[in-house]
Amino acid sequence: MATTGNLFTFLSAGNAVDRAFSIYLNRWKLFTQLALVVVIPQILLKITLQKTLIMDDSGAFAENAEATFQTMSPKQVAMLGIEIAFSFLFGIIVRAAIFQVVAEYYSQKLSTFKGSLVLAFNRSCAIFGFGLLYSAAVLVFGMAFASLIWLLILYKGPDFLGTLLCVSAAAFVVYVMLSLTIVLPILVIEKESPIGAVRRCFELLPTYRCYVFCSMLLLGVVVIFTSTLYQALVGAIFGVSMLTTVFGGLSAVVTLPLQTM
């Protein structure tokens, strides 16, 4: 998917992947700086978990990690919650900033680290407003689906009806998720409201869902394959250690911008 002004242009899967790598290589320094805002806290979180929760005194992984979690102090729980929330919230903001950089690439405008983050923060209310709307919709859908399944079980409905219901629900979820794949760039670039962004998604994607799905699938395969090789190489070199966590986590410096684009 490409953006020019307020227009979105959908590319074939191969062209989309090629364009994503071209944009990344063109502004890789800025993408790296933005990704590090998320990657560093995530690495620190993993190190904290390994050091204080999962690893025992000998440096090996504890056999009963669940029991270790149960013995956490309130301070540890609070710190862990803060780190997770920080990583999640800043992850969304950084993804929004990356979309802004991509839009500026197409419009041939100068992108800066501070400027892209400021623009992303300015749209944070709309972004998190959509998050609340999306969460509420998921909750309602989940409750409705669970109620239908419960009724089928209660009244001993035929098995094929339950299967049909599950398949229909899965197809509906895939349809909606594909339709909402461009909601974040719409919120950031076109500055729509949460409801307006949802409406705009369905306007832009009436016949392009296959393009979006194939592009995401192809890029995902490339990123996951290379990331897996990198993780295996790091693990083979450093074994089970903090260095593995650090160098393994740094792969997200590349994968996060590519997966966002």
Residue % of the chain over a pLDDT of 90: 13
Query: pTM for this structure?
Result: 0.72
The pLDDT of residue 76: 63
Q: Per-residue pLDDT tens for 120-178?
A: 889 889 988 998 899 999 999 999 999 998 988 888 878 888 889 999 999 999 888 88
Q: For the chain, how many structural domains are there in total?
A: 1
pLDDT at 3 over 50: no
Give the model's confidence band at 244: pLDDT under 50 very low, under 70 low, under 90 confident, else very high.
Answer: confident
Domain that holds residue 130: 2-260
Q: What is the mean pLDDT of residues 74-103?
A: 77
pLDDT at 88 over 50: yes
Q: Per-residue pLDDT tens for 22-38?
A: 888 888 899 999 988 88
The pLDDT of residue 6: 44
- Average pLDDT of the chain, as a whole number: 80
Query: Of 80 and 217, which is predicted with more confidence?
Result: 217
Q: Per-residue pLDDT tens for 221-232?
A: 888 898 889 888
pLDDT at 58 over 50: no
In the 3-class helix/strand/coil scheme, how is the chain assigned residue by residue?
CEEECCEEECCCHHHHHHHHHHHHHHCHHHHHHHHHHHHHHHHHHHHHHHHHHHECCCCCECCCHHHHHHCCCHHHHHHHHHHHHHHHHHHHHHHHHHHHHHHHHHCCCCCCHHHHHHHHHHCHHHHHHHHHHHHHHHHHHHHHHHHHHHHHHHCCCCHHHHHHHHHHHHHHHHHHHHHCCCHHHHHHHHCCCHHHHHHHHHHHCCCCHHHHHHHHHHHHHHHHHHHHHHHHHHHHHHCCCHHHHHHHHCCHHHHHHHHHC
Lowest mean pLDDT among 64-73, 158-167, 182-191: 64-73
